[in-house]
Amino acid sequence: MEYRQNYDKWLNESYFDESVREELMNINNNEEEIKDRFYKNLTFGTAGLRGKIGAGTNRMNKYTVALASQALALTIISQGGDIAKNRGVAIAYDTRKFSDVFAKTAALVLAYNGIKVYLFDEIKPTPVLAYTIRKLGCYSGIMITASHNPKEYNGYKVYWNEGSQILSDIADKIIDEIESIKDITMISLMDESDALQKGLLKIIDAEIYDAYIKDVLNLSLRQKIDKDLNIIYTPLNGTGNRPVRRVLKERGFKNVFVVKEQENPDPNFTTVGYPNPENINVFDYAKRLGKQKQGDIIIATDPDCDRMACMVTNKDKDYTFLNGNQIGALLINYILDARKEQNTIPKNGVIVKTIVTGELGKKIAQSYGVETIETLTGFKNICQNKNGYEKNGKYKFIFGYEESIGYVYSTIVRDKDGVIASMLLCEAAAYYKLQGKTLLDVLEELFQKYGYFNEKLVSIILEGKDGRERINRIMGRLKKNYLRQINNNKIDIFINYEEGKKYNLKLNTVEDVKLPNTNGVKFVFEDNSWFAVRPSGTEPKLKIYIYSISDTKKDSEEKTKKIEKVIMEMIEKVN
């Protein structure tokens, strides 16, 4: 049993510190736990590593971080040689357990390989790291974060020289290097004082951060807004506290109230447990404060502040949650309306969204003469398009978004940015407040103009080896014996993204999907409603996206419920 051999090595080798031995001794009689920790290496995906913190080859710890960093170092050297080593790597980290330790470990492994490292001296949001790579001209970047995962997790996200997350071409090279390293105990770290003395480790000062804040503020679109807007903000004990508050203050907002219980770093996320702003439960404390302060809008950013969610006060003096599709549509409408006034919408302007993101934003963009391009799920794919447009000049990138509350405006950051999104959404709310409207009023106007769009995301948690196998069986069922209709609504289009084929069931034709292959399916009904299913790339989940459109709100909601009922019944039958 190879996993037992790996366990014994970690337990007995002097390379691993005493805390590792103590942790592993505590599970000595738990064979399933030992197997889960050691039956494989923690998977390096297209964005990097993400997993539970703990000792073992299949866990996030300083040794698996060192392994990934050594593989990254070898990849950087093979791709760019001495030029790449001198351009260096920027590293930032969030508030999670051991984030600072993992960041320092990565830095000293890279330094040992002769690669210059720029390391932040304190927690910073993911978008600041993405910005820094371009600002300093780095060859790569590392963000230590598990984004919105539960407290037991941490992660290691890799960026390349354009300031966006790596794609499969670079990820595959890193994976090859990981597999070539047969003995993790051979990986070395440079002494920190030596790295500093030799100029291989440089601590990033406030200059870069100040430049980022200035550039974000320059993205504001209107000055005539109600700066007395009452804003409730929760950083969910993450990295957004300082940058979001600073940007809102310098933008001129006078009434920004922060949820005290969620203001400062807390790696245990004591008040929320699962710090995902897509989950309405994270707003409990913020809603309480909002009612005390008569808040007009509540915004929440996730722990690494690359995503933003919001709630808006309604006519019942309570709060209504806006999902990612709705926020994206509101931002698109606000941005394009402002730029139309300024006559700054480029003739070849483009919005980029993912294949599982709703269509309302696309309808709005179309009304302003702006094209919408679809890409695979994940901001790495959105920003790949952005990078490509900059090179080929085909389009001018305006805005990118995905339904999972990720957005970015302009090109200063090549990843989703919760700071930019927070500023622009508050600015939009303040602009409409001068007109006596809330964001809910504006959203209703958009529905009346373009149709009622309703959507629902269902996530089924399926952990461990058994969970992965069941996900594979469900996906296999959807691909081989796919649905032809739900109730009286016929399915016209079936897309198998893994196969790269789009089947027109009405015309009995097949065409290629011009996207990289990925494990996912999409079904489009004759009325343009649709649903899609795919495994999560970062969590042990099967994700089901349901989307409907109708002339009335009630009808669109009923369609969504009917689609969900049929899909869930089918999934339950797959053991």
Q: Does the annotation mark 536 as catalytic?
A: no
* Top-confidence residue, 193 or 384: 193
Least confident of 77-81, 143-147, 386-390, 469-473: 386-390
pLDDT digit string, tens, across residues 70-110: 999 999 999 999 999 999 999 999 999 999 999 999 999 99
Pick the CATH number of 216-317 from 3.30.420.40, 3.40.120.10, 3.40.50.10540, 3.20.20.60: 3.40.120.10
Mean pLDDT for the stretch of residues 56-63: 97
Mean pLDDT for the stretch of residues 127-144: 98
Find, among 376, 355, 574, 377, the residue nearest to 481 by Cα.
574
Domain 216-317 and domain 325-450, same fold? Reply is yes
H/E stretch holding 556 reads helix 553-572
Give me the amino acid identity at 258.
V
DSSP string, 334-369: HHHHHHHHTT---TTEEEEEETTS-SHHHHHHHHTT
Could you say which architecture CATH assigns to the domain 452-572?
Answer: 2-Layer Sandwich (3.30)
User: What is the b/e burial string over 180-204, where b = at least 16 CB atoms within 10 angstroms of the residue's CB?
Assistant: ebeebeebebbeeeebeeeebbbeb
Cα 220 versus chain centre, distance: 23
β-strand 89-93 against 117-120: which pairing, if any? parallel
Give the contacts of 217 (CB within 8 A, at least 6 positions apart): 247, 250, 251, 423
Note whether 531 and 522 are within 8 A (CB): yes
Structure tokens at 71: 């593989």
Mean pLDDT for the stretch of residues 488-516: 92
Assign residue 541 a region: left if phi > 0, alpha if psi is -120 to 50, beta otherwise?
beta
- Distance CA(11)–CA(14), nearest Å, equals 9
Give me the amino acid identity at 223.
Q
Domain residue limits, the chain: 1-38, 40-204, 216-317, 325-450, 452-572
- In degrees to the nearest 10, what's the CA dihedral of 334, 340, 343, 348? 90
Does residue 232 sit in helix, strand or coil? strand
- Distance CA(428)–CA(338), nearest Å, equals 10
Note whether 151 and 97 are within 8 A (CB): yes
Give me the amino acid identity at 278.
E
Angle at 85 between CA 80 and CA 91, to 5 degrees: 110
pLDDT digit string, tens, across residues 317-365: 999 999 999 999 999 999 999 999 999 999 999 999 999 999 999 999 9
- Distance CA(385)–CA(397), nearest Å, equals 9
Structure tokens at 231: 């804003």
Give me the amino acid identity at 198.
K
What CATH code is assigned to 40-204? 3.40.120.10
pLDDT digit string, tens, across residues 159-215: 999 999 999 999 999 999 999 999 999 999 999 999 999 999 999 989 999 999 999
Give the contacts of 79 (CB within 8 A, at least 6 positions apart): 170, 173
pTM greater than 0.85: yes
pLDDT of residue 67: 98
What count of residues does the chain have? 575
DSSP string, 45-105: -SSEEEEEBSSSTTSBSHHHHHHHHHHHHHHHHHHHHHHHHHH-EEEEE-SSTTHHHHHHH
Q: In Å, how far are 186, 231, 247, 248, 419 from 254, measured between CA atoms?
A: 55, 9, 12, 8, 17
- Which class is domain 325-450? alpha beta
- Distance CA(243)–CA(131), nearest Å, equals 13
Which of 69, 99, 140, 147 does the annotation list as catalytic? Answer: 147
Does residue 8 sit in helix, strand or coil? helix
Give the contacts of 23 (CB within 8 A, at least 6 positions apart): 54, 55
DSSP string, 180-203: H---GGG-----HHHHHHTTSEEE
pLDDT digit string, tens, across residues 422-464: 999 999 999 999 999 999 999 999 999 999 999 999 999 988 8
pLDDT of residue 482: 73
- Distance CA(312)–CA(342), nearest Å, equals 28
- In degrees to the nearest 10, what's the CA dihedral of 147, 148, 151, 152? -70
Give me the amino acid identity at 527.
D
Find, among 286, 280, 283, the residue nearest to 256 by Cα.
286
Does residue 119 sit in helix, strand or coil? strand
